[in-house]
Chain A
Amino acid sequence: MAVSESAISTPPGGRGLSLTSKRILRHLAILATLLIVWELSTRLGLLDELTFPRPVAIVQSMYELYLVQGSIWWHLFITIAEVLAGFAAGSALGIGLAIIVGLNPLVRRFLKPYVIVLEATPRIAVAPLLIAALGFGWSSKVAIITLVCFFAPFVNTLSGMLNVNEEAHQLFRSLGANKRQIFMKLMLPDATPIIMAGLRLAMASALSGALVAEFISANEGMGVLLKRYTASLNMASSFACLLSLTALGFLIFRTMEAIDNRVVFWRKDERAATVGRRRAAAWHRKMGA
C-alpha cells in the first residue's frame, strides 16, 4: 500500500487531498494516538509519572520555560553560540591544516604520525583536561567543540587534496597553469563535495560536544539546564529541554543540507539546471553590453 501510494501521484486538480497533505495527516494521526496513549497510561498509573511526565505536562512546562520564565532563551543562545564558535574554529583549523599538509609532501610526512595518534584518542576524553587548562568558562567549552569539529573536515579535506584526478592535473600543467591556479581552479573546487561532507559530520557532532562539555562543567547552556532539571526531578521541564534540543538538531541538520546543496550545486540535477540558466543569462547580458 505504501509503495503504490508513493509511486503514484494524484493528478493535479483531482479529488481529495494531495499526497503530501495525506501523508502529513497520517503521521499526525499516529503521533496523536501515541501521545494520547502516553497521556492515558501515566494518568492510569501504568507509567511512572516521575520518569515519564505526561505530554500535557511537558507542553505546560514548554509554555512556562519559553513564555513565562524566558531564561531558557539565554541558555539556548549560549549553547548555539558555543556550537557555532567551536564549529567555525574547528573546521577552519581542520581545513586550513589539511590544505597545508596536502600541498606539502614534506609536512605530510612530518605530521602524519601525530595526526594518527590524535585521531586514535577519544575526543571527549580530552574534555576534562581542556577544562582543567582553560577553566570553567566559555573558552573551555568552545575548545572542546573545536576539538570535536576538527577531524572530519581535516580528514576529508586532506583526502580531497590527495585524490585530485591525475589527468586533470596533467591537463592544467599542459595548459601552463601555475601552482596557485591549479589549487584555486582545480584542487579546491574538486575537493568541495568531500569537504562539505566533512563539515556536515562536524556540525552533527558539534551539538553533542557542546552538551557533553556543559554536562561536565558549566554554569549556563542547555546542558546545564537539562542537568539541573533532571537533578531536581523536574522531568517535564527536562523533556521540554530535550525537545528543544531535538528541534535545534533538526534545524542544524537542515541548514547544513541546504548549504551543501547550494555549494555543491553540480551534484544535483535541478540545482545544476537553475545555475546553468542563471549563468547563461549573465553571459548574454555581458555579451550584449
Chain B
Amino acid sequence: MNAVARPVEREETSAGAETVISGRNVGKTFGNGAVVALEDANFDIPKGAFVSLVGPSGCGKSTLLRLVAGLIERSSGSLTVHGKEIDGPHEDVGMMFQRATLLDWRTSVENVLLPTEIHRKPTKADRQRAIELLTMVGLKDFAFSFPAQLSGGMQQRVALARLLQTGADILLLDEPFGALDEFTRERLNLELMRIVGEVGATTLFVTHNIGEAIFLADKVMVMTPRPGRLAHVVDVPFARPRELDLQQTPEFNAMVAQVRDILGEH
C-alpha cells in the first residue's frame, strides 16, 4: 500500500532512450509579435514518456501543444518530432481537447472511425479496432449511441478511443478531463494511465492541477506566464503502476510543494 511511494531509479529516460519530441529555443508570437505566447522553450521528450504541462492560465500550454500538433507555425527556434522539423499536421501526432468535440450526427463507433475515414475507406479490421477501443474505454455497450445520449465523461471516453484509433504514437491532451467533475476525472485519469501504458504512447498532458500532473507523469514541465516560459522540468520518480493513495504520501506532497514553489517564484 505505501510501498508504491518509494522513489526508484529511472533507467528509461536517463539511459538515453530515443528522443521523440525535441524543442530548441521554440518561440511563438501572435499578432506580428504583439503577444509573446511562448519564448525560448527547450525540452526533450523521450519515447514512451508521460509528460505533464502545468502552469497558470495564458502561459502558453495550449500554444505549445498546437505547435507540436503542427496546427500553428512556430515563430522561432526548432521543433522536431522523430527528428524531423514539424511543418504541419502529422499522422504520428493525435490531439484531444477539453471538450469532446464529437460529431453529433455520428454514433460513438462512427466517431471513433473518423480518423481512419479521413485517410481511407475503413476496412473490416478498422471497424473491429474501433469496437476494441470502445471496449477498452468501457463503452462497448454504447457503440451505437449518439453523443447526445452520453454523459460528459462518456463523451470524453469516446474522444479518447478516437484519439487511439489514429494510431498516433504521440498523444497531445489539452486538459482532456478539465470540464468533468472530480470523481469522474480521477477515474478517467487512472484509465488514461493504464491505456497509455498499454499502447506505449508518448504523451503530453496539459492540466491546471498540480497533484494530477505529478500523479500521472514521468516528468512535469512547469511553465510561467508573461511571456510563456518553460521554467523547470521536474522528474517524477514514483514507480508504476501507481495507486490513488500515492497522493497521500509525504514524498508526493513534497513534490507538489516543490512544483508550487517553482510556480510561485515567478
A residues near B (Cβ < 8 Å) are 165, 167-168, 170-177, 181, 185-186, 189-190, 192, 265-267, 269, 272-273, 275-277, 279-280, 283, 286-287
B residues near A (Cβ < 8 Å) are 66, 69-71, 89-91, 93-95, 97, 99, 101, 103-105, 107, 109-110, 114-115, 117-119, 124, 127-128, 143-149, 166
Cβ distance B245 to chain A, nearest Cβ, rounded Å: 35
Note all chain B residues with C-beta closer than 8 A to A273.
149
Most buried by A among B91, B97, B124, B128: B97
Cβ distance B194 to chain A, nearest Cβ, rounded Å: 24
Note all chain B residues with C-beta closer than 8 A to A190.
103-104
Known A276-B107, A279-B107: A175·B146 in contact at CB below 8 Å: no
Note all chain A residues with C-beta closer than 8 A to B66.
170
Note all chain A residues with C-beta closer than 8 A to B145.
276
**Contact A280–B143 (Cβ < 8 Å):** yes
Cβ distance B149 to chain A, nearest Cβ, rounded Å: 6
Cβ distance B24 to chain A, nearest Cβ, rounded Å: 23
Query: Which one, A173, A181, A277, contacts B89 given CB within 8 A?
Result: A173
Cα of A137 to Cα of B117 in the assembled complex, Å: 50
Query: Which one, A165, A173, A267, A280, contacts B101 given CB within 8 A?
Result: A165
Cα of A192 to Cα of B103 in the assembled complex, Å: 12
Cα of A280 to Cα of B110 in the assembled complex, Å: 11
Cα of A22 to Cα of B89 in the assembled complex, Å: 63
**Contact B71–A174 (Cβ < 8 Å):** yes
**Contact B149–A283 (Cβ < 8 Å):** no
**Contact A176–B146 (Cβ < 8 Å):** no
Note all chain A residues with C-beta closer than 8 A to B69.
170, 174
Note all chain B residues with C-beta closer than 8 A to A173.
71, 89
Cβ distance A100 to chain B, nearest Cβ, rounded Å: 23
Query: Which one, A177, A181, A269, contacts B148 given CB within 8 A?
Result: A269
